[in-house]
Chains A and B, each alone.
Chain A
């Protein structure tokens, strides 16, 4: 049956898989961009690789509480599960969070025709 047209887009990993690791994320108030919490400097990075990774849900909840003090800068902080890449940096485990951290998987704007 001719029904295999392999996708030009990545096959995404399982959604909402539980792992031992979590980071805290939110949407930045200025522009809605996804940002990730850095516990030590108590600020936010656009790079998930720079996020503070914690182990266990209760520790993550404590981090969310700290992050909540910054609700001028961000909206609705929440914990999310991650895997750890080499070097310990966080990698999202759900398709949603992966797309959120990397941007849409589709082209954004058609280039203008050459005149």
Chain B
């Protein structure tokens, strides 16, 4: 993984030192909240309902075991003994004190981490595929490009005060978009042109929130050396023409749609003509330099293991077999596999990991996966490089720390935003609804019968839980002063990007779990075969049967 050079290290330490001074001035009363707020936000520190919340940046979700142990230590020493995985592949702490945060930033700097640009109107953590570098279906590892974007965007002086926050994702698998590039301010897709050359398709204007939009193509093929100059051009057009008068209309998606994609692209290209051959050119040597940080691990030469993996999925130990079937996927190197550690369990909020579990996962990563792990945007963890021969052993150890659930990519493997239990902006709670849905579908055979389906819950229209792109989406609303939940169907964040549609009147908190069940029961009746997934069935039969099942003839 990428290692800081002296310059990176110095800048992060310097930032931490500055923040300690700012905290001291705030605590002494030299500065008050109005002055302090922009300073703390630049360091990822929010104020929530019960306490401060610190969001730690994890570039494209990649963590070393040393970093994970540090996060465990931080959770134990400065928080309530747990951390929360976020949809930007970061980790956040919900209970630090102000003085504690000054210490946390020092601790983070000691393992090449920080919390810079995890809030505020700047370029946020660049996300990517959680199976980057190990999946068979990618053109090449997207992480070097995500890292190049991270270096360009971190402390970029021109883009520190954009009209609104700005999110970029990079994907390199033509047939399976796991990075949701169609729903980012900028989506970058590694592609090949007709001549077999590699480059990028660049999308812009995607996003969720109160006005969801699917990203549109700004340029079909961009040679690799122009990546940064092109992103810079898009950001400049946005910075210049994006609305600053209305927070709700300030995201780039509004600008792209107001101008139309042709006019937006024309302005970007015009800007790009000015700078494309300047000092932002990305020479091959620079790409190769960054790529070295992501060189393949020292894999052993092992026989092909696809048939073994298929056999393990049918293992007579059904807990293990189901876990292999749902949570393990083939690796590009024979004899290895990638494991999704589900952090979805009925006992605990989705995406929460205790300090103890963090330490255990770090140990397991050292033992089974070259000392690295990844945070997924679906609030899980991945051990990307596990020997197939060690899967059983690994599963036993995960079960022992309550991380062996076999529900990846199934109904219980949901995205849930913090909602009204923590968030200042919420209308309704999300986490209890999520936990009750996990509880309802705790039966693995029922869950397997339902098959691949994703569910996403947001506690308000800001859509941090991505409800618009859930095959099943739930949106918390405030209906005459009481928490209610709108149900949406048909969303997808993948290559077949689509936005979910509201089924009908909202449900109460006592009704919503049953409403989800009703939808799934109807799907089981409607599907043509077990191979027809929920989303495909929905696209074939439409909303009507589900509406009828939920509301009858009314």
Q: Is the CB of B421 within 8 A of A99?
A: yes
Residues of A within 8 A of B401 (CB): 113
State the Cβ distance, B135 to closest chain A Cβ, in Å: 30
State the Cβ distance, A26 to closest chain B Cβ, in Å: 9
Q: What residue in chain A is nearest B424 (Cβ atoms)?
A: A96
Q: What residue in chain A is nearest B353 (Cβ atoms)?
A: A110
Contact sample, A vs B, 23 pairs, CB 8 Å cutoff: A2-B518, A3-B513, A4-B511, A5-B513, A7-B510, A14-B482, A15-B482, A27-B47, A29-B98, A31-B97, A72-B27, A72-B28, A75-B47, A95-B428, A96-B420, A99-B49, A105-B421, A106-B429, A106-B431, A108-B82, A109-B81, A112-B354, A113-B402
Digitize A9-46: 1 where CB-to-B-CB distance is under 8 Å, 0 elsewhere.
10111111100000000010111111000000000000
Q: Is the CB of B514 within 8 A of A11?
A: no
Q: Which of A9, A14, A31, A104 is B422 in contact with, Cβ under 8 Å?
A: A104
Q: Which of A17, A30, A108 is B97 in contact with, Cβ under 8 Å?
A: A30
Q: How many A-B residue pairs have CB under 8 A?
A: 133
Q: Which 8 A-B pairs have the closest CB atoms?
A: A3-B514, A72-B29, A14-B481, A104-B421, A75-B33, A32-B51, A32-B52, A31-B97
Q: Is the CB of A96 within 8 A of B348?
A: no
A75 to B45, CA, bound (A): 14
Q: Which of A12, A33, A95, A106 is B435 in contact with, Cβ under 8 Å?
A: A106
State the Cβ distance, B363 to closest chain A Cβ, in Å: 14
Q: What residue in chain A is nearest B26 (Cβ atoms)?
A: A29
A30 to B478, CA, bound (A): 32
**Best-buried of B50, B357, B402, B429 by chain A (most CB within 10 Å):** B50
Q: What residue in chain B is nearest A108 (Cβ atoms)?
A: B80
Residues of B within 8 A of A11 (CB): 482, 508-510
Q: Is the CB of A1 within 8 A of B509?
A: no
Q: Does A87 contact B (CB under 8 A)?
A: no
A107 to B52, CA, bound (A): 18
Q: What residue in chain B is nearest A11 (Cβ atoms)?
A: B509
Within 365-391 of B, Cβ neighbours of A (below 8 Å) are at: none
Q: Does A76 contact B (CB under 8 A)?
A: yes
Q: What residue in chain A is nearest B427 (Cβ atoms)?
A: A15
Q: Does B483 contact A (CB under 8 A)?
A: yes
A103 to B80, CA, bound (A): 13
Residues of A within 8 A of B483 (CB): 12, 15, 95
Q: Does B32 contact A (CB under 8 A)?
A: yes
Q: Is the CB of B80 within 8 A of A109?
A: yes
Within 83-115 of A, Cβ neighbours of B (below 8 Å) are at: 94-96, 99-100, 103-110, 112-113
